Structure 1
Amino acid sequence: MDYQIYTLPNGLRLIHKPEKSAVVYCGMVISTGSRDEDETEFGMAHFVEHMLFKGTEKRRSSHIISRLENVGGDLNAFTSKEETVVYAAVLNQYAERALELIADVVLHSTFPQKELEKEVEVVLDEIDSYNDSPSELIYDDFEDMLFKGHALGHHILGKPELLREYTTQDVSRFVARQYHTEKMVLFVSGDIPFKKLTRWADKYFQLGYKQALGEQRVAPQQYQPVDNMIIKNTHQAHVIIGNRAYDMYHADRLGLYLLNNILGGPGMSSLLNLSLREKHGLVYNVDSIYQPFSDSGEWCVYFGCDPANAARCEALVYKELSKLRENKLSDALLKKYKLQLTGQMAISSENKENMALSLGKSFLRYEKVDNLEEISKKVEAITANQLQRIANEVFLPEGLSVLRYR
């Protein structure tokens, strides 16, 4: 088997991928993120992630920090629109230590008011740092425009005026509402006997916030494309062009992933890189991104350039999109692009930490994990006609929104 699964009585699911390695990668992925905040809680999901390291029923923050670092391990976390992840990497002999610590911070944090007040300042500094990076900030502003009025649109880091008002009670209330064990997946990748893992899971993860699930997520409504400019007085012009896209359960999701890789993926031979950088020398960096959510998605192209070249770069982007809509890929090109994608996935799978994170997130979303061979078969089944149809559904000029920083 590629992986083994076990469900605790409280609904928490464990997934284990046996891996011959001296290092164990493990963690908890929780189905809650910034989209699960109400309008008085903007930034709360991310703030909770910070506060998980600030004290539990039996540990102070210094004990949490040193617990794994003292044996050469690492403990980390991140928050997205729909997920919060706490994860660790340790030598095999300290795997139980890592799992016990993850259980402690996720299920038994106390969110002390004194620590909370200090951590607010840390997050405010993080927000300031982010605001100083227009190439990152523009993605948040674009999402706010694309999902206007919906929880998917607001910034993960939140609003300073709200963060300053949060109390221990506010944080505890959010955790009690969102941190249900049935919304959690415990993932482990390493050379640990599965029976031992299930015994540890029963020992450390039985307690939790199991209860009737709260409010269900509401999908965003239809939107009208927007063309907007924000004056930032930056040296470069920063531009995003994009659209709503398929959710993570859509039948054409993998097709759009392939199409996006062709258009502006990580390779130097992507269509946008060949046009804007290699042929015309107008940009240092141009990317396209496809991000599916549980009930919607987004696709966009980003580039930064000299303000004098912005209009020309936009025209070149639209030209490449038009080619994909109007011209079906030849068999030879399609074969090349499929090989590119499967090769990239194979190389990425060698990063064991990324693969462990993918293990947990895939099982949380789909209750299964496809191996590389299964994904490659799905990629191979994608046709040129399918890609052209997807391009005509997602890349239509009249459906695209544009955000510019000047």
Structure 2
Amino acid sequence: MHRVAVYHVNDVEILHIYMRSGMVNIRVNANAGSSCESPNEYGIAHFLEHLMFKGTEKRNAKEIRRDAARIGGKLNAWTSFDHTVFHITALSEEFEMAFELLSDLFLNPVFPKEEIEKEKIVVLDEMRRSQDRPQSILYQKTSGKFWSHNIDHRILGTRENVEEMGREEIIKWRSGYYSGKNIQVAVAGEITEKQVREVAGRCFFTTNMAGKVTYPEVAFTGGNDDFYKKGILATYFLMAYPALPRAHDDHVRQRVMTHVLGGGGSSLLFEQIREEMGLVYGIHAGILNTDAFNTLIIGTSSKPDNIHLIERIMRGIIEKLCSSPVSEDRLIMAKASMLSTIRMIAESPVGMNSLVSLGYLKGDSVNMYKRLSQEIPEVTRDDVLTIAEETFKQKPYVGRLWPE
């Protein structure tokens, strides 16, 4: 069992999830990511995320890492399209030290010039490694193809931008987004509200400088693109459709329908294309939700001779999903699979914080764990049919990466 409370300390929103655990997870969620960037800034949100760990007014980068290790802490961060997360998981008895450490690196970075230049090498190497993964290459090549304004451009940015980023530019971008109403602190673990209020009151402050993040209206465009790369043996495939936003009344129904289609070992795509025909190693359908855009993506890979056959079978499965109800047993399997997954995630403070905090950051004021737990069992076969018809009525975008 868990309890969720939202309150403010020093004008900062605190999301507090009380749950039994010997560990505590603390997150600083910033309501800004790569979709906030202009073309000459592509990559700055991700680069800034790296630099936040490179020293503060009281700790250098090595001291940050060692102070975390002394309390059993695991520090990490990631950048998404519409948010960036900085978090630490530590022993519950070390909550105060963990909160102070995370607050220090988030509020007081100094961005030493030598660390900026050194971290450019690291990020550029990250880009090179992504070029060794065909799935990443396909997504990079299709970015901006099906959503307008290039809103879904590559989070890592461009080599040219990263090489040219300077300290003043980084500080300006951080000041414009990492403050005010764009910041939320989320705590999950066996920590009392009194503890959270006392420690947050001493450690975490922000300004009201940053304005609310907004995104342009974007349009989805169906299409068909083929790309080629030397040195690969398989062909990589994706099919994309526009999806519903998190706040939509039918969001959970669409997630269940997507799971029925391609969410696991008992899904329609996996059973027919993998198990019955042996055409692929893996095939998956999932939904990516952001403030800027929402996409349902189906992805797989196979030997080149199989791809057009797989695509025909896939379209046939989707057509059937839109024309007749799935069996009751298949729906039961999908719903049970989804419920077991979210319950396993929610067993840990890290997972519970991930499930719950983002919705509150985005202003939904909905406990997504509770919403999923309540609405998934209520989805019917007719719901799946109706939402499939609505989802797949638009022409998809299809991208393929072939061996050259």
TM-score by length of 1: 0.93
Matches within 5 A, 1:264-303: 264-265=262-263, 267-303=264-300
For the 8 Å contact 1:55–1:112, the answer to whether it is kept is: yes
Correspondence for 1:243 = 241
**SS of the residue 1:260 aligns to:** helix
For the 8 Å contact 2:51–2:111, the answer to whether it is kept is: yes
Q: 1:370/1:300 Cα in 2 relative to 1: closer, same or farther (>3 Å)?
A: same
Whole-angstrom distance in 2 between the partners of 1:100 and 1:318: 53
Q: 1:326/1:305 Cα in 2 relative to 1: closer, same or farther (>3 Å)?
A: same
Tell me the CA shift for residue 373 of structure 1. Answer: 5.2
Kindly indicate whether residue 182 of structure 2 is the aligned counterpart of residue 183 of structure 1. Answer: yes
For the 8 Å contact 1:2–1:371, the answer to whether it is kept is: no
Name whichever of 244-253 and 272-281 sits farther off. Answer: 244-253
Give the partner amino acid of 1:226: G
For the 8 Å contact 1:232–1:405, the answer to whether it is kept is: yes
How many residues align structurally? 400
For the 8 Å contact 1:248–1:296, the answer to whether it is kept is: no
1:315 to 309, 312, 316: 312
**SS of the residue 1:326 aligns to:** coil
For the 8 Å contact 2:27–2:88, the answer to whether it is kept is: yes
Name whichever of 158-167 and 192-201 sits farther off. Answer: 192-201
Whole-angstrom distance in 1 between the partners of 2:250 and 2:142: 24
Correspondence for 2:122 = 122
Give the partner amino acid of 2:56: T
**SS of the residue 2:72 aligns to:** coil
Give the partner amino acid of 1:181: G
Tell me the CA shift for residue 33 of structure 1. Answer: 0.4
Q: 1:341/1:223 Cα in 2 relative to 1: closer, same or farther (>3 Å)?
A: closer
Whole-angstrom distance in 1 between the partners of 2:81 and 2:390: 24
Root mean square deviation of aligned Cα = 1.8
**SS of the residue 1:85 aligns to:** strand
Kindly indicate whether residue 369 of structure 2 is the aligned counterpart of residue 375 of structure 1. Answer: no
For the 8 Å contact 1:249–1:294, the answer to whether it is kept is: no
Whole-angstrom distance in 2 between the partners of 1:324 and 1:74: 43
Whole-angstrom distance in 1 between the partners of 2:22 and 2:330: 41
**SS of the residue 1:135 aligns to:** helix
Q: 1:228/1:374 Cα in 2 relative to 1: closer, same or farther (>3 Å)?
A: closer
**SS of the residue 1:53 aligns to:** coil
2:335 to 325, 334, 338: 338
**SS of the residue 2:387 aligns to:** helix
**SS of the residue 2:164 aligns to:** coil
> Which digits, 9 at most, give the CA deviation of each residue in 1:369-391, with x for residues without a partner?
43755533212333333322221
Whole-angstrom distance in 2 between the partners of 1:380 and 1:340: 11
For the 8 Å contact 1:54–1:61, the answer to whether it is kept is: yes
Task: Give percent identity, aligned residues only.
Answer: 26
Give the 4+ runs in structure 1 shifted more than 4 A: 371-374
Q: 1:189/1:212 Cα in 2 relative to 1: closer, same or farther (>3 Å)?
A: closer
Tell me the CA shift for residue 14 of structure 1. Answer: 0.8
Whole-angstrom distance in 2 between the partners of 1:349 and 1:141: 35
Name whichever of 134-143 and 185-194 sits farther off. Answer: 134-143
Correspondence for 1:103 = 103
Q: 1:16/1:95 Cα in 2 relative to 1: closer, same or farther (>3 Å)?
A: same
Whole-angstrom distance in 1 between the partners of 2:80 and 2:350: 18
Whole-angstrom distance in 2 between the partners of 1:372 and 1:212: 29
Correspondence for 1:362 = 359
Whole-angstrom distance in 2 between the partners of 1:116 and 1:17: 35
For the 8 Å contact 1:6–1:198, the answer to whether it is kept is: no
Whole-angstrom distance in 2 between the partners of 1:389 and 1:374: 20
Gaps of 5+ in 2: none
Whole-angstrom distance in 2 between the partners of 1:212 and 1:373: 31
For the 8 Å contact 2:222–2:397, the answer to whether it is kept is: yes
Name whichever of 350-359 and 371-380 sits farther off. Answer: 371-380
Q: 1:347/1:223 Cα in 2 relative to 1: closer, same or farther (>3 Å)?
A: closer
Whole-angstrom distance in 1 between the partners of 2:14 and 2:213: 24
**SS of the residue 1:310 aligns to:** helix
Give the partner amino acid of 2:249: A
For the 8 Å contact 1:338–1:380, the answer to whether it is kept is: yes
